[in-house]
Structure 1
């Protein structure tokens, strides 16, 4: 069993401190076997950084990603896709830390490397566009965020085996278009996402619920309250199936439904 298979097994069978100890043990063993300058050790540091980021321990995550980045720069070069992936991971941690200028600079550098090595039709390039879009949104740059998300969706449209990523991108783009005050484009994005979920991907996913909820909110904004009720009713059912009847997402969908019904009955 290789190191990454052992990492997968650890995530499946362990949690809490036991999982952390196992991941550190595997990382240390990899360093002893392949050396501190080995590319595989750099990849294990990436795994460790991702674990700590998921735990909200951002400073530890940053240290692991920086060490991985240094190793991959030496072993693969700073213009390699592997280096770009490590830089992307570091940028993700910086975004969560609120260090948005650093994150934007790093995500932009990743995009350049992916474009020059893999081309603009690669899934990593599309993911890079999405990541940079999220940073722009965090910084309040709505138009740029929408432009980047739209580019990501166009790349993903060319990939028949990436329909799940496309549906998520369309949901994100729909919300951005709504916030831009472009409701017709927002509706087209969300309806296209729903079509993908219903015909190809299945509906047991948070993004399906988000698309339904987004359509309900969009219809409310343009005064189509009866239609909004139908979307919110579907969103409530999806949320209950996905999260349970006591979850905040289900309760929120029911509250949105009540508000839309009141507006429809009042003839607002």
Structure 2
């Protein structure tokens, strides 16, 4: 089994944004790896599968996929290695996405300890880890800790030119914290920087740009420019649907749009988006 072929095919599919086709490919290769008893391949493929389940809000399936990965790590005697830290980071992200913040924080801290002991102080994975910890503290409304970790992430990622998308998402994360702190000028500067980075990339727009668009929708809602707010939220909604389907982020963006339409006095649109959000949240909660 040549994993180089697998990752090449997967990358090509991800560039098209067809998440369903990507899942089919990963499941096909997982079946092959299990039949061969190829534990290193199972580890790599399970991590990819868990990521697909996370972005499509299938959290139980995501936890199961990463459980397979962690079992593979134990079989390969890779505890406390970089691979172990990466898998813990990925599993923590599933817990964070499903709002199980304390479990996510515990796993993130384990991963941070592994990375730091491995000497990865200037590695993009540690930057991603700090960014994710920032998100959890944001959810817990501990904004000072959220800001501190986002800034740690940015300090690492700014000196790694080969990771422009990660840099853009970190600027977006920091901007979201500034929004909650009502530091709108700083939020706007960060979002414009993130937007420029995304637009400078070749090929299709990276799906993570949806978070930047959504944050810009929030910025203009808070600063009273409702026309721009609606425009950015609708662009975010389209990107989320095209890349990930109607997941929890899609529902959240619908709620944001409902809120804007309520302020501008359009009850029909408000009710439309509110109904979509409620139906999606109910469906996702049963998965």
The alpha-carbon deviation at position 110 of structure 1 amounts to 0.9
Q: Partner of 2:220 in structure 1?
A: 216
The number of residue pairs the alignment matches comes to: 246
Helix, strand or coil at the partner of 2:128: helix
Instruction: Show the counterpart of 2:92.
Output: 91
- 1:169 matched to 2:176? The reply is no
| Secondary structure of 2:120's aligned partner | coil
Q: Does the 8 A contact of 1:193 with 1:211 survive in 2?
A: no
Shift of 1:114: 1.5
Moved more, 51-60 or 161-170: 51-60
- Relative to 1, partners in 2 of residues 1:95 and 1:29: Cα closer, same or farther, differing over 3 Å? same
Task: For 2:61 and 2:95, locate their aligned partners in 1 and report how far apart those are by CA, in whole Å.
Answer: 12
Aligned to 1:2: 2
Deviation, structure 1 residue 25: 1.6
Residue 81 of structure 1 corresponds to 82
Higher relative CO (Cα under 8 Å, sequence separation at least 6) belongs to: 2
The 3 A distance-change label for structure 1 pair 139 and 196 is same
Residue 48 to residue 183, structure 1, CA distance change in 2 (3 Å): closer
Q: CA-atom RMSD, angstroms?
A: 4.0
> Which residue pairs with 2:184 in the alignment?
183
Q: Are 1:29 and 2:30 matched, yes or no? A: no
Aligned 8 A contact 1:43 1:68 in 2? yes
Stretches of structure 2 lacking an aligned partner (at least 5 in a row):
242-249, 265-287
- Residue 58 of structure 1, CA deviation: 3.2
In 2: Cα distance, 1:17 partner to 1:161 partner? 27
Whole-angstrom CA distance in 2 between matches of 1:254 and 1:103: 30
Mean alpha-carbon deviation: is it higher for 4-13 or for 142-151? 4-13
Structure index of larger Rg? 1
Kindly report which structure 2 residues correspond to 1:114-263, keeping only aligned pairs within 5 A, or say none: 114-197=115-198, 200-201=200-201, 204=205, 205-210=209-214, 212-220=216-224, 228=225, 231-232=228-229, 235=232
User: Using a 3 Å threshold, how does the CA distance of structure 1 residues 76 and 147 change in structure 2: closer, same or farther?
Assistant: same
Question: Aligned partners of 1:122, 1:73: CA distance in 2, in Å?
Answer: 24
TM-score by length of 1: 0.71
